[in-house]
Amino acid sequence: MRRELSIILLIFCFYLASANAQEVPVRLSAEKLCGNINKKVEAHGKVVVRFKDVVVKGDNASYDRVSGILRVWGNVEVVEGDVDLKCKSLIYDLKSKRAVLERVSGKLSPTDYIRADRIERLSEKEWIAYDGEYTPCTGQVCPDWSIGAKKFRVLLGESFAGRWVTFRIKEIPVLVTPVLTGPVVRGRKSGFLTPRIGYVSEGGFYYRQPFYLVLGRSADLTLAYEKRFKGGNGKSAEFRYVLSPYSSGDIWVNKLDLPSEKSWKFTFNHSYRPSDYVYGTAHAEMVNSRSYYKATTTFDVEEKTQVYTKSDANLSKLWEHAVINANLVYLDYLDGSTDRVYQKLPDLQFYLMDVPVSRFPFTFNFSGDATYFYRKAGGSSYRVSLEPGLRYVKAFRKFKSSTQVSYLVSDYEIGGTSRIFKFENLNSFNVAEKVGRVGDFSVTPKFGFRVVDVMGLGNNVIFDLNDKVESRREAFWGAETYLYASGRQLGRLNVSGGYDFKGEDNWKDWRVQLSLTPVSNLTLQQDLKLSSDDGSLKIANTYLGFPLEVDGYGLEGGRGWVDFYYQKEEPQVKYVRWGTNIPIGKYVSFSFQQRYDVKYSMDRERDYAININRGCWNGRISYRWVKNYDGSIDYQVMFVVNLLKLGSYGYRFAGRKED
């Protein structure tokens, strides 16, 4: 009892002396303690050292108070936040927070696991390992994949970089590379990056090797060479630069030299944001032909089916009540139809939001637009539009009325001037009640009037939808209803309609939108458009999502869905889609979807896929086919693997089967 009391007293005195000296407070307990608390203390047997949020356990320890050096050896365990490491010995500098660990294994973060003969901790973020193995695979004794190297640097949760790296699958070496890095590297260094290998039906197997080159503090360059084993190669260059803390960009060029043709693509991006009130971007994209997208080794479906390129620039300036935007947009259609498309070079827009008018119960607002239209095939003009407006808002308890009056004047180089008077009044009120034990019920009816008078339209060319304005006098109404229970939305219903006093078809079509979620995993969504003449259905979109059950037993996480779409108007569309997602074990799931064309009584599309998610990597094996109206079938087989911090690798085979 006397021995235990003396140990506790020594711990207290040691802690107090360190705190009074304004050093890092250290608490040390052990079976045996000896030394001078003002200079150096040694501990033996079940040693536990605590300082700040760090806990170190071991068989033996020594702490030099003057130098701030802590040494622990024998069955050492270090716990600091997400860090949990076991090692043979530890040397920790409490002043600089640098450390050296010998014979180490454990985790550095939730996505960084490591084994090494020796590890140096340079900071809380940066670690260097020697003769070690790294993996982001969480808590696996034999990880799905890992890398081993003589020396590599790890930035916790961000990246790693190593030299003469061995890539392993289940501890089996499959690839050796001189340099391997993750996406972000502190202290940038020139060298080879992670190679890419894959297969595409157009080019066979390919190998892509990037090389990273540092060009100073504010610029770098990535060069890549791609070899295709069916013939041909590719070369690319990506230049990145930083002009200031608020101005940066990149330039990317990719050239494909294939036996059948040569194709290329160029992109440029720049962003400019000196403050939260000024923001600008510029983007340019050029490609020599649409065949480029078919020949690339990308697995991006949207890029594979791209039919045009878009170049644009935007600059926005914000004030307390106003904003101005300057835009330039140029579309280049790859099918040669660009000559028939109007371009906007430039488009200037100005908005003045509601500003109170002194001594009057009104707010003033203003919008302006200046645009120059251009078309290669002929036809160009400018348009300057000015629209001042006044708004009056009156609220009385749950009732709110808002009235807006504006006058739009648009002047054209070709076609004269058009003037449009607009008046709109919107009224609404809200009713909220409790419905027994069901929940809270809320309904907001809305009704209003709208008047649009178009004067002096002349013969101006229709450049965009802003020019296509028709005179009308109409009333509109609707209601939005919500049902809540236990803070969760159970249902929503929105119904709207209207009456045009001037048009030929006076009654406007009814629009009904319904969303029901009676339980968390069951969803019904309904969107209808009904004819005002006879109530017939013109458009319907019905979606039902539900959990899956087989013989009364639920498949945990499994879901099914059905989607029906119908459009009576031209082009007439009528199809049904359905699909499932079924878990197979902890990491694997199976998904299927099908689209059936009801109008032509034929299958239009099917997609089968097996999805794997192991955390440190995920993959997808899929087979998809689409049936064309001439009876031919386009099909595609794709296998893609995404390695955490290493990127994507894949196999894609596409073809066509004639009827």
Q: What is the 8-class DSSP label of residue 591? A: E
Could you read off the pLDDT of 298-339 as tens digits, one per residue? 655 556 667 788 899 999 999 989 999 999 999 888 877 888
Q: Between 187 and 640, where is the model more confident?
A: 640
Among 312-326, 340-354, 453-467, where is mean pLDDT lowest?
453-467
What are the tokens at 206?
A: 């390919």
113 CB-side CA count, 13 A: 17
Task: Give the N- to C-terminal CA distance of the chain in Å, as an integer.
Answer: 93
What pLDDT digit, counting tens, does each position of 540-561 carry?
999 999 988 765 565 677 899 9
pLDDT for the residue 303: 64
Whether 151 and 126 have beta carbons less than 8 Å apart is answered as no
Give the C-alpha separation, 405 to 635, whole Å: 56
269-274: long-range contacts, CB 8 A cutoff, minimum separation 24? 271/247, 272/246, 272/247, 272/315, 273/246, 273/247, 274/246, 274/247
From residue 499, alpha-carbon distances to 425, 429, 468 in Å are 15, 21, 20
Q: How many whole angstroms separate alpha carbon 176 and alpha carbon 148?
A: 10
What does the DSSP assignment read for 99-113?
EEEEEEEEEEETTEE
Q: Rounded CA gap, 61 and 32, in Å?
A: 10
CB distance 238 to 222 below 8 Å: yes
| Position 384 pLDDT exceeds 90 | yes
CA distance 478 to 498: 8
Report how far residue 238's alpha carbon sits from residue 219's, in angstroms, rounded to the nearest whole number: 11
Where is pLDDT greater, at 332 or 250?
A: 250
Contacts of 578 (CB under 8 A, 6+ apart): 560, 561, 562, 563, 593, 594
Residue 22 or residue 524, greater confidence? 524
Residues near 141 by beta carbon (within 8 Å), at least 6 away in sequence:
none
Output the 3-class SS for 498-519: EEECCCCCCECCEEEEEEECCC
Per-residue confidence band for 12, with pLDDT thresholds at 50, 70 and 90: very low
**Which has the higher per-residue pLDDT, 393 or 152?**
393
CA distance 109 to 106: 9
Instruction: Give the three-state DSSP class for 11.
Output: helix
Query: Long-range contact list for 44-48, CB < 8 A, 24+ apart?
Result: 47/72
404, β-bridge pairs: 391, 424
Confidence of residue 90 (pLDDT cuts 50, 70, 90): very high
**pTM of the predicted model over 0.75:** no
Mean pLDDT, the chain, integer = 85
pLDDT, residue 554, reads 59
pLDDT tens, 60-71?
999 988 888 999
pLDDT score of 651: 79
User: What distance in Å separates the CA atoms of residue 370 and residue 382, rounded to the nearest whole number?
Assistant: 7
The pLDDT confidence band at residue 649, using thresholds 50, 70 and 90, is: confident
State mean pLDDT over 344-356: 92
Query: Can you say whether the dihedral through the CA atoms of 301, 302, 308, 309 is positive or negative?
Result: negative
In whole angstroms, how far apart are CA 212 and each of 176, 220, 240? 18, 8, 11
| DSSP H or E run through 529 | strand 523-530
498's tokens: 């209207």
For the residues 187-201, what does the mean pLDDT come to? 72
Residue 524: the pLDDT is 95
Higher pLDDT, 252 or 14: 252
State residue 35's pLDDT score: 80
Domain spans, the chain: 1-97, 342-499
Judge whether residue 512 has pLDDT over 60: yes
Q: Tell me the residue ranges of DSSP E strands in 334-379.
A: 343-356, 363-374
Rounded Cα distance between 298 and 301, Å, is 8
Residues of the chain with pLDDT > 90, as a percent, come to 43
Per-residue three-class SS string for 147-207 = EEEEEEEEECCCEEEEEEEEEEECCEEEEEEEEEECCCCCCCCCEECCCEEEEECCCEEEE
**76, 87 Cβ separation under 8 angstroms:** yes
653 or 49: which carries more pLDDT confidence? 49
Q: Which residues touch 471 (CB under 8 Å, ≥6 apart)?
A: 452, 453, 454, 502
Task: Tell me which amino acid residue 86 is.
Answer: K
23-55 pLDDT, tens digit per residue, is 668 888 888 888 877 788 899 999 999 988 889
Place of tokens 């690839």: 175
Q: Which of 207-216, 366-375, 563-572, 629-638 has the least mean pLDDT?
A: 629-638
Spatial distance between the Cα atoms of 151 and 178, rounded to a whole number of angstroms: 12
Decide: residue 270, CB within 10 A, 0-12 exposed, 13-18 middle, 19+ buried.
middle
In this structure, of 174-183, 201-210, 243-252, the range with the lowest mean pLDDT score is: 174-183
pLDDT higher than threshold 60 for residue 186: no
- The torsion of the CA quartet 174, 176, 179, 185, rounded to 10 degrees, works out to 20
What pLDDT is attached to residue 47?
Answer: 93
Helix (H) or strand (E) holding 291: helix 291-295
